[in-house]
Amino acid sequence: MDETRIQDRGGAGEPGVVELDERPPAHEERIKGGVASPTAHDSGRKHVTGLARYADDEPELPGTLQVYIAMSERAHAKIVAMDLSKVRQAPGVVVVLTADDIPGQNDYSPVFGDDPIFPPTSGPEAIVQYVGQPIFAVAAETLGAARQAAKLAVVEYEDKPAAITFEAALAAAGEEGHDLLAPHEMRIGDVDAALGEAPHRVMGRVEVGGQDHFYLEGQIAYSIPLEDRDVLVRSSTQHPSEVQHNVAKMLGVPDHAVTVELRRMGGGFGGKESQPALFAAVTALAAVKTGRPAKCRLDRDDDMVMTGKRHEVRIDYAVGYQEDGRIAAGDFSHLVRCGYSSDLSGAIADRAMFHADNAYRLPAARILSRRLKTHTVSNTAFRGFGGPQGMVGIERVMDRIAFEAGLDPLDVRKANFYPSFDSGEEPGVTPYHMEVTDSIIAELVDELEASSDYRCRREAVRAFNAKSPILKKGLALTPVKFGISFTTSHLNQAGALVHVYKDGSVHLNHGGTEMGQGLFTKVAQVVAEEFQIDLDKVKITATTTAKVPNTSATAASSGSDLNGMAAKAAAATIKDRLIDYAAERYHVPREQVVFEANRVRIGNAEKRFSDLVGEAYLARVSLSSTGFYATPGVNYDRETASGRPFYYFAYGAACSEVVIDTLTGEYKLLRADILHDVGKSLNPAIDMGQIEGGFIQGMGWLTMEELWWDDKGRLKTHAPSTYKIPTANDRPDDLRIRIWEKGENRSETVYRSKAVGEPPFMLAISVFSALTDAVIAAGDGRAFPNLDAPATPERVLRAVEDVRGN
């Protein structure tokens, strides 16, 4: 049947009776691509065929200038003189930009106002604070001309002491503790008393290194001048509203004079949250000053030298425990290497503290965090936002307790888990005084323990190690409990805009950004589900500040939670209008207007969705709506270090088996079993990709991605030739990933799903613990190794030699 029509038979029969010209058979089918469907990423085919358009793929307008940013060659120095006359006179140069050219505020920072776009050219604040800091920019006809011209600059420096390492930063802070940011402390229970009463105690230190984001698409911005000194900025950013605000304050204009848009990023991982504002500001300044479009696209070396990394953290611990491995008290001290400016370090260091407990109830705990200034690039957001660093500390404690007590590390972990929500026990309380009321970690770990055959494999590893003098195996099963929400409460909001056109097609826009993680696909699935139409009827459009204002960054794993709910609300508003129209038009109660697969049932009749929309348009029903969502019930009081910073927790666990060569320190991940909780998955295919990708990226951070600065503050690992990221060959041949089938969010999220962007990253801690286990075996269990991250082959070999007493 080609068409089903509803006729109003008012007057011809009983009032309000709705009849069909022909009654169709009962429909059982679901919409294509709705919620819970393992639907492909909307740009997946474009990604692999090269058809996906990124900022650099957009055609350049005639007259576009190419911008090169010149960088400081000193880690900490006063600029005594800067002569740019030859730069300005060089062939092809149109304008040279310094701090003197900025009409508004010389700052691109996200919070604290301490990130100058360029340092002043003279005066007491003419200071550079890391090698790679932008000092001026050249806009020329070609990028080559801009680069060559920048080399003609004559800059005279007066060197100052530079703090590069933890030790130098501590010395520079002095006894008064003049850190970059004030310290913060979380506390629960009487730690000193509990430590004193505990029958056993371990003390130690673990350091975790930084990590470069290594997004495939580097930092880029393209600014187009408009009339009235307005500007359009195409920026590869996770935070369009922040870029908009920073460009506007730099130009000294209202936010409405700046529009920021992007369709997609080639990766972000947090590195495009605060950092892109610099490049957007520089190109916007060039565009406004010259009246010509301007583009700045960093090459890989400049990108790695100029932009922030994951924070390095040193964790000292003192932990008291019982005979069975249960922790009585934990005292943790975090030293966080922030770089030269504040950036997002306050919130990142806080989140490291929030996750210092991971999945374990600590009856008494004290966590002290210091945020140190170093004369290196300002560290910034990275997947997990400090949480992974905090978790490494407590997982090292679990391994250490197991070693000292002669227990299996998994048994020690299980003895300390937060109580399950359905166990009948009182909920555990975190060090920041939040009750953990949704814990499922014990049940999930039990399931993974069985499916991974952990106990039998533990015995097999022991047997292998007893017979193998050179190669040693290690095995570890570690949990993840990760809080979901921005810990800065006001950021937990999102907006969306939905249009339904009169042919029944849908236009979707929201404040989230797509960086390859599948956010756009998931939010489109939510809208399709709400209207009960096939996914291909929903058009995904570029993020723009002109449509949805005042958005938060796509970060904190909250993209689907926030934007999905906002889009759902917008769609629901339009849906309610259609229901009202149909109920009135066809004289049926509202509850008898039901949206089904691509059709609407009205009483005993049916109508195609597109036909109902067309009718509503003719009846002058609004088919456009905004939607808004604010996460309920989240708060954190930093003064008392207490509150509910997270709406819920995501859980997971991984079991990893490694083998090391004790002669070289080389190792291989042989097998990994992963069980992860995503609640009721919005899209199992995308979620599986996020779990695998997060695990591999986390493994890279903990085992091979090493950042190294020399004593002059120069980053020496600034290209793929010197900085190693995981490749397909580092993926274990035996990788078994499952989404936990029992998962369901106990909080009211979009279709009871859970965030999946960041939590899987920390599953890789199981690899780090497995390497620790293998090194213990190399020393025949005589000593616990001092193994820091990244556990490179050099570090593994050194740890082996240490435990063997060599």
Task: Specify whether 758 is catalytic.
Answer: yes
Q: What gap in Å lies between CA 782 and CA 263, rounded to an integer? A: 56
Q: Which two tokens stand for residue 100?
A: 């003197």
Nearest to 492 by CA among 412, 405, 553, 447: 553
Within 8 A by CB and 6+ apart from 459, the residues are: none
Residue-wise DSSP of 680-723: S-S-HHHHHHHHHHHHHHHHHHHHT----B-TTS-BS--STTTS
- For residue 603, which amino acid is it? G
What distance in Å separates the CA atoms of residue 381 and residue 236, rounded to the nearest whole number? 15
β-pair partners for 140:
66, 93
For 686, counting Cβ atoms within 10 Å of its Cβ (0-12 exposed, 13-18 middle, 19+ buried), the class is: buried
Residues 6+ apart with CB under 8 A from 573: 625, 627
Q: Which of 529, 758, 794, 801 is catalytic?
A: 758
| CB 375 within 8 Å of CB 338 | no
| Whether 530 contacts 714, CB under 8 Å | no
Q: Strand, helix or coil at 83?
A: strand
Q: How far is CA 131 from the centre of its chain?
A: 26
113 Rama sector, left if φ>0, alpha if ψ -120 to 50, beta otherwise: left
Is the distance from CB of 433 to CB of 188 less than 8 angstroms? yes
* Token output for 49: 């065929």
Q: What angle do CA 249, 252, 255 make, to 5 degrees?
A: 55
Alpha helices in 292-437 (DSSP H): 300-306, 345-354, 387-405, 409-415
In this structure, the strands spanning 327-339 and 258-262 are unpaired
Asked if 306 contacts 282 with a C-beta cutoff of 8 angstroms, the reply is no
3-class SS letters over 564-590 = HHHHHHHHHHHHHHHHHHHHHHHCCCH
Contact 179, 371 (CB under 8 A): yes
**Active-site residue list:** 758
